[in-house]
Structure 1
Amino acid sequence: MADRLTGGDSSLLRRINAAVTLRALRAGHSVTLTQLVGETGLSRPTVEGVIEGLVESGLVAEVDQPRDDGHPGNGRRGRPARWFRFRAEAGHILGIEIGVHDVRVILADLTGQVVGSHVRPVDEALAAEGRLAAARTAVAEALRRTGVPRDSLWAVGVGTPGIVDRAGTVRLGTAMPGWTGLDLGARLRRSFRCPVLIENDANLAAIAEHWQGAAIGADDVVFVMAGLSPGAGSLINGKLHRGYGGAAGEIGALHLLGREVTPERLLSTTGKPLNPLDEAAVARVLRLAREGDEVAQVAMDRFLTRLVQGVAALVLAIDPQLVVIGGWAAGLDGVLEPLRERLARFTLRAPEVAPAALGSEVVAMGALRVALDHVEDQLFAVDPPARG
């Protein structure tokens, strides 16, 4: 993509000028050459030369600017102004969530504006091969519905449960059959001719809420994906904290410290471990608690205590401004206030606590943001293109 910026010219100065001009164009609507000169601080001949290259690359288009009365022209005598716009439709990005119960795909243009989406339900017991096939089918359907050709994709972000290393291998993934050890990056890159970026689902949820959700404007954030095995994603100074091996935030592993706090025992209403341990069984316990069942309320209290302990550990380590609660807990009546109260008791400085705002799309939206970040890094890069 660097060559799309420079027209193949490897001049550092030209790349810098192109990046500055493209940023100004991408920030708003159609602008004139004169406006670009003012916004970039570059000379008019420089801007004209850069614009010519960007038009040839397909990233910028010259457009007619109507007068206030709706007729062509600018209403002035003399040489008419030339207007240009960034062609957001010149390429597209994908955000994909491969989850336990469904595969979700969101398609957007080069500004991150969503142009289409598709959700494909899958069985939680589906093997890895079947789940990968479902992901490919969901992508194909999203592209078909929007009329976007596959070769228009510039980057793909993918979210999945589990510990994921930087290369895209799932080092540990117990939520889905056959997921531990799966080289998800390599498997999915066979289906695309663009970069494919793999990340943990809670990490992506934190990124998404910071981008368009409850954490806008907060740079130190913990997102908690509350479920059978809660996980968390953390932003420090606005940047994702993955940890050395990608395992940061795996608070669900706290049960390894003692068998008495396993999910099977926490949510049991019979004195025996919950079996089977699945979402339907847990939903039943939580429903009974809401209806006033005392035994279920005790189980729910244990669940909440365990969640608070995990979140408190992160809060003490990171001291975030905000904790965003997603997953099941985001929809549980009366959970946020007990969380706030207990965190105030168990931490040195209680953070704000808020429910997630993006709902079921949060992971796919985070994957979309990661893909967009990759594209922007390429579009605005000023380093020389790597040589093979």
Structure 2
Amino acid sequence: MGRLTGGDPSLLRRINSAVVLHALRGADFPTFTDLTRITGLSRPTVEGVIEGLMVAGLVVEDAPEEDGETRRQGRPARRFRFRAEAGHLLGIEIGPHRVAAMLSGLDGRIIGAGSREVTETAPADERLDRVRTTVADLLRRAGVARSSLRAVGVGSPGIVEADGTVRLGTALPEWTGLALGERLRRSFRCPVLVENDANAAAVAEHWKGAATDSDDIVFVLAGLSPGAGSLIGGRLHRGYGGAAGEIGALHLLGRGATPETLLSTTDQPLHALDEPAVAQVFADAKRGDAQARAAMERFIERLVHDVAALVLALDPELVVIGGWAAGLEDVLEPLRGELARFCLRPPRVALSLLGDSAVATGALRLALDHVEEQLFAVEGTVTARR
């Protein structure tokens, strides 16, 4: 598209279309009169915009069922709705032990989900094949054509570049240096947005989880190699190189033992991806095993200190704990106590409300954000013209 100027009629059409679309998404079967009142646009302008949106397939004339009394009063006003089914979005999680996908319409309402297990030792090609199989099965079950996809969001472990390349990814085999975005774009004829998994989970909690009422948050994806995502003023904070929140590397700064060693009850460290072994240590601790209890307390102390360091730097309103530690109530009180010691105004601390669906949900939200930027790109920057 060519350069637009302030008086360019094509720009004004885009502004008015964005305003009307916003009104349609927030109203229940509005009429022309409703849209004129909500948007402040003239009726002829609204009628012209609606006609164009109907041709584009984004709006349809529709109305709830009317009773006989309403029909006897005369011809009803024309009513319209935003066609959420005009396109679809995917959110994908790629993890050590499974891949998962969520499907929604253009309104972000989830209409299907699926997941498949994968071994932690699976090479990159096998893991990506599992992603494609999971997506194909989900689309088939939902009756959605691949060509209907408008955007795909992906949450992955590792430090992710803007183009979707994993600059460093130690959690998965063959992941460091993987051109993940490029590889996945071969499977979809739409934009593919790749994000760090903790960042995606932070977005999810802000959208539908424990942080819906907070714009300054830290989400901790707890594990033997913990990571964190943060929102500042409601916007995802990635850092200059995309490595913001990599608290799993703090033990390298002279902290001595690794988390895998701290949580071990033997002379051998746990494997960073051995979730059953981790779960067993916590289960043994809750049953009163002294060695397991000591290991759990060592690990929690390290996690609490790592999170406290990030909180001191960012001063969030809320800290959300997710990952496999989301069900471990023992993390909350030590964290609250430590933050109260060091922070002028300690943040609230809560467990994730989304559990193991947080990463895929956040990836879906990233896809929705991308589509909304296209549909409503000018909204909020220029006032609509009558």
CA deviation vs aligned residue, 1:118-173 (integer Å, no higher than 9, x gap) = 11111111110000000000010000000000000000000001110111011111
What is the deviation of 1:259?
6.0
- C-alpha contact (below 8 Å) 2:98/2:117 kept by paired residues: yes
Distance 1:41 1:144 in 2: 43
- CA drift of 1:63 comes to 1.6
Q: Contact 2:304–2:334 at 8 Å: present in 1 too?
A: no
CA contact (8 A) 2:29 2:63 kept: no
Q: C-alpha offsets along residues 277-300 of structure 1, whole Å, 9 cap, x if unaligned?
A: 522222222122111122221111
Does the CA contact (< 8 Å) of 2:282 and 2:296 recur in 1? Answer: yes
Equivalent residues of 1:66, 1:72 under 8 A apart: no
* Aligned: 1:318 with 2:317: no
Preserved contact between residue 93 and residue 155 of structure 1 (Cα < 8 Å): yes
Quote the offset at 1:28 in angstroms. 2.7
Q: Residues 129-278 of structure 1: matches in 2 within 5 Å?
A: 129-258=125-254, 260-270=256-266, 272-277=267-272, 278=274
Other-structure match for 1:306: 302
CA contact (8 A) 1:126 1:177 kept: yes
User: What whole-Å deviation, never above 9, does each CA across 1:34-85 have from its counterpart, x for those lacking one?
Assistant: 1111111111111111111011111000124433xx24955534x5311111
- Give distance in 2, aligned partners of 1:84 and 1:122: 45
Structure 1 equivalent of residue 29 of structure 2: 30
Structure 1 residue 334, shift from structure 2 partner: 2.4
Q: Distance in 2 between matches of 1:175 and 1:206?
A: 19
One-letter identity of the residue aligned with 1:63: D
CA shift in 2, pair 1:220/1:91, >3 Å: same
Runs ≥4 in structure 1, deviation > 4 angstroms? 72-75
- On the 8 A contact 1:197/1:370 being kept in 2, the answer is yes
SS in 2 for 1:260: coil
Q: Which residue of 2 aligns with 1:374?
A: 370
Query: Using the alignment, how far apart are the partners of 2:207 and 2:286 within structure 1?
Result: 33
Q: Provide the C-alpha distance between the structure 1 equivalents of 2:56 and 2:159, rounded to a whole number of angstroms.
A: 39
Match for residue 325 of structure 2 among 301, 317, 329 = 329
Partner residue, 1:14 = 13
- State the one-letter code of the partner of 2:17: A
Counterparts of 1:267 and 1:64 in 2: how far apart (Å)? 59
Q: 1:245 to 1:276 in 2, by over 3 A?
A: closer
2:73 pairs with 1:76: yes
Kept in 2: contact 1:37–1:44 (CA 8 A): yes
Question: Paired residues, what number?
Answer: 372
Q: Which SS does the other structure have where 1:301 is aligned? A: helix
User: Under a length normalisation based on structure 2, what TM-score does the superposition of the two structures give?
Assistant: 0.93
Shift of 1:308: 0.9
> Quick one: distance in 1 between partners of 2:106 and 2:144?
13
Tell me, yes or no, if the aligned pair for 2:305 and 2:338 is still in contact at 8 Å: no
Give the aligned partner of residue 117 of structure 1.
113
TM-score, normalising length: structure 1: 0.92
* Alignment match, 2:42: 43
Displacement after TM superposition at 1:191 (Å): 0.4
Give me the whole-angstrom Cα distance separating, in 1, the residues matched to 2:106 and 2:9.
23
Give the superposition deviation at 1:225. 0.4
Q: 2:123 aligns with which of 123, 127, 136?
A: 127
| Match of residue 355, structure 2, among 342, 359, 363 | 359
Find the residue that maps to 2:218 and give its secondary structure: strand
Q: Contact 2:91 / 2:362 at 8 angstroms: preserved in 1?
A: yes
Where does structure 2 lack aligned partners over 5 or more consecutive residues?
2-7, 380-386
Q: Deviations over 1:274-328 (max 9, x none)?
A: 2545222222221221111222211111101110111111110110000000012
1:5 equivalent in structure 2: none
The separation in 1 between residues aligned to 2:317 and 2:111, in whole angstroms, is 33
Contact 1:74 1:81 in 2 (8 A): no
In structure 1, stretches of 5+ residues that fail to align are: 3-8, 384-388
RMSD: 1.7
Percent of aligned positions that are identical: 66
CA contact (8 A) 2:84 2:107 kept: yes
For 2:199, what is the secondary structure of its paired residue?
A: helix
The CA distance in 2 between the partners of 1:10 and 1:252, in whole Å, is 52
Q: Give the 3-state SS of the residue equivalent to 1:261 in structure 2.
A: coil
Deviations 1:227-248 (A, max 9, x none): 0100000000000000011100
SS of residue paired to 2:256: helix
Deviation at 1:339, TM superposition (A): 1.7
Structure 1 stretch 330-339 or stretch 97-106: which is displaced more? 330-339
Structure 1 CA distance, aligned partners of 2:14 and 2:97? 45
8 A Cα contact 1:222 1:320, kept in partner: yes
- Answering whether residue 282 of structure 2 is matched by residue 282 of structure 1, we say no
Q: Corresponding residue for 1:294?
A: 290
